[in-house]
Amino acid sequence: MNKQNNKKGKVVIVSGPSGVGKSTICKEVVKRLDKAYLSVSVTTRPKAESEVNGQDYLFLSTEEFSRWVEKGLLLEHAEVFGHLYGTPKDKVEEALQSGKTTILEIDVQGAKQVKTIHPDAVMIFILPPTQKELANRMSNRGREDTAKVEERLDGAGTEIAAAWQYYEYMIINDNLEQAVSEMTQIIKHNPGDKEC
Ligand code: 5GP
């Protein structure tokens, strides 16, 4: 086997406040990379109307989620805004073994867990241009009621504060094309691939 085939994919962690546009950016970045996989998390959060089960998330009951944890099927998991979220381990390992850049769109708690398992993981945090813009985007999305939007906005401050400490790259999502291009460049130019 030549050296090329032995290359393991790199892990890319993408975090940022709710409503900042992480999913849109990540979906676009995956299209621009040669070999990439965007992890689909499991969650106990109720499915929004616009979401597709198995595509945006795998929606589980709390009991099902507990079984995934007990069986050791999750790479990391955390409670975020009152719901449980986790990254399926097998799919990530499979993608890494086949040399794919594996993007995990997860919160700061999950990012810390993954960083201990994959110390070479590239850590990217997406910021909104302003707090007001974040509030607008969240309201316009229409997914959460006013109380939930308030809760998520409060959480954003805490997450952004933690981000300055833990993340290597910060991208401001002011212009979608620019944010996508910045993230693609960071991933392409970052070492992190390891020999199997
Ligand atoms: P949302 O409910 O808006 O889709 O996601 C809420 C938060 O959960 C976001 O910060 C998102 O990054 C985070 N999240 C989504 N999937 C996972 C996951 O698998 N693990 C962890 N730790 N956080 C996740």
Statement: residue 192 has pLDDT above 70 = no
Number of domains within the chain: 1
Q: Is 120 left (phi over 0), alpha (psi -120 to 50) or beta?
A: alpha
Instruction: Look up the pTM and report it.
Output: 0.92
- Quick one: pLDDT at residue 196? 38
> Cα(73)–Cα(92) distance, rounded to whole angstroms?
11
Statement: residue 6 has pLDDT above 90 = no
> Cα(92)–Cα(96) distance, rounded to whole angstroms?
6
Question: Does residue 134 sit within a domain?
Answer: yes
Residue nearest to atom 12 of ligand 1 (CA): 106
Statement: residue 156 has pLDDT above 90 = no
Ligand 1: centre distance to CA 86 (Å): 8
pLDDT tens by residue, 42-65: 999 999 999 999 999 999 999 999
Ligand 1: centre distance to CA 173 (Å): 18
Question: Does residue 196 sit within a domain?
Answer: no
Ligand 1: centre distance to CA 33 (Å): 23
Question: Does residue 1 sit within a domain?
Answer: no
Question: Does residue 22 sit within a domain?
Answer: yes
> Cα(47)–Cα(53) distance, rounded to whole angstroms?
8
Question: Does residue 92 sit within a domain?
Answer: yes
Q: Average pLDDT, whole number, for the chain?
A: 92
Question: Does residue 2 sit within a domain?
Answer: no
Range of the domain at 14: 7-191
Statement: residue 194 has pLDDT above 80 = no
- Quick one: pLDDT at residue 110? 98
CATH of residue 184's domain is 3.40.50.300
Match 């069986």 to its residue by tokens: 71
